[in-house]
Amino acid sequence: MDHDHAFRRERLAIVTGGSRGLGRALVARLVERGWRIIVDARDGDRLDRAVQGLAVPERVTAIPGDVADPDHRRAVAAAAAVTGGLDLLVNNASALGPSPQPALSDYPLDALGRVVAVNALAPLALVQAVLPLLAARRGRVINVSSDAAAEAYPGWGGYGASKAALEHLSATLAAEHPELLVYAFDPGDMATDMHQRAFPGEDISDRPAPEAVVPALRRLIEGELPSGRYRAADRTAVPA
The 10s digit of each residue's pLDDT in 162-209 is: 999 999 999 999 999 999 999 999 998 754 555 555 555 554 466 667
CA atoms of 210 and 190, how far apart (whole Å): 6
Res. 6 pLDDT band, cuts 50 70 90: very low
Query: For the whole model, what pTM was predicted?
Result: 0.89
Note the pLDDT of residue 240: 35
Note the pLDDT of residue 108: 97
Break the chain into its structural domains and give their ranges.
3-231
Note the pLDDT of residue 49: 96
Note the pLDDT of residue 234: 82
CA atoms of 57 and 49, how far apart (whole Å): 10
Whether 170 sits among the annotated catalytic residues: the reply is no
- pLDDT greater than 90 at residue 113: yes
Catalytic residue among 19, 94, 107, 145: 145
Whether 105 sits among the annotated catalytic residues: the reply is no
CA atoms of 161 and 149, how far apart (whole Å): 6
CA atoms of 8 and 199, how far apart (whole Å): 39
Catalytic residue among 19, 94, 107, 159: 159
Whether 159 sits among the annotated catalytic residues: the reply is yes
> Which CATH superfamily includes the segment(s) 3-231?
NAD(P)-binding Rossmann-like Domain (3.40.50.720)
Whether 146 sits among the annotated catalytic residues: the reply is yes
Q: Is 4 exposed, middle or buried (0-12, 13-18, 19+ CB in 10 A)?
A: exposed
